[in-house]
Amino acid sequence: MTDAPVAREYRTGSDPRTLRDALGCFATGVTVVTCLDSEGHPVGLTANSFTSLSLDPPLLLVCVAKAAASAGPLSEAEHFAVNVLQTGQQPASITFSTRVEDRFGCTAWALGEHGVPVLMDSLSVFECARRAIHEGGDHYILVGEVKKATFESGLDPLLYFRGRYRRLHFD
């Protein structure tokens, strides 16, 4: 006989690792959020806190850690892009979430119509005008108004669940 699984529990004051593990039960896609800094250099970081927010007006949001180097440029830029990654872009997700000297030097990209860096071969790309920035604890909530969206219909999404990259699989 096997024991019944025991649910783990977080309460105020518990180890934050337990809260992270609980939040990690929410499976997400993976994005790279990009902009140009005030000197025109491309900036970007991997983010899975992306959410669609409104259809009319067309809004989306992404949460950026205040401690992230990209937080300053992203909160100052007039435009930013959310690049939704496909399975073949796992290397880009790793590049944009780790200490890589020149993230854009090892990733194929181009400037989009709104002057934002767009990663080539992404599953979808949302080019946005910055609409609002809200405080959210140790993160900023960056709200963008979608000016242009493009997507590929034949590619599979890169997923993230319980701290690991995953792929869709259907029975």
Ligand X SMILES: Cc1cc2nc3c(=O)[nH]c(=O)nc-3n(C[C@H](O)[C@H](O)[C@H](O)COP(=O)(O)O)c2cc1C
Closest separation in Å from C-beta 154 to ligand X = 23
123 contacts ligand X (rule: CB under 6 A): no
Site size with ligand X, rule: CB under 6 A? 14
> What is the residue-wise DSSP string for 91-148?
HHHHHTTS--TTGGGGS-EEE-TTS-EEETT-SEEEEEEEEEEEEETTEEEEEEEEEE
Closest separation in Å from C-beta 106 to ligand X = 14
> From the list 22, 65, 143, 149, which residue makes contact with ligand X (rule: CB under 6 A)?
65
> From the list 34, 46, 89, 124, which residue makes contact with ligand X (rule: CB under 6 A)?
46
107 contacts ligand X (rule: CB under 6 A): no
86 contacts ligand X (rule: CB under 6 A): no
Backbone angles phi, psi at 103, to 5 degrees: -60, -40
The sign of the torsion formed by the CA atoms of 67, 70, 72, 75 equals negative
Closest separation in Å from C-beta 62 to ligand X = 6
Closest separation in Å from C-beta 78 to ligand X = 19
The structure tokens 């259907």 sit at 170
The sign of the torsion formed by the CA atoms of 107, 113, 114, 115 equals positive
C-alpha to C-alpha distance for 25 and 96, rounded to whole angstroms: 22
97 contacts ligand X (rule: CB under 6 A): yes
Give the residue with the Cβ less far from ligand X, 109 or 160. 160
Q: Residues in the site for ligand X, rule: CB under 6 A?
A: 30, 45-49, 63-65, 68-70, 97, 160
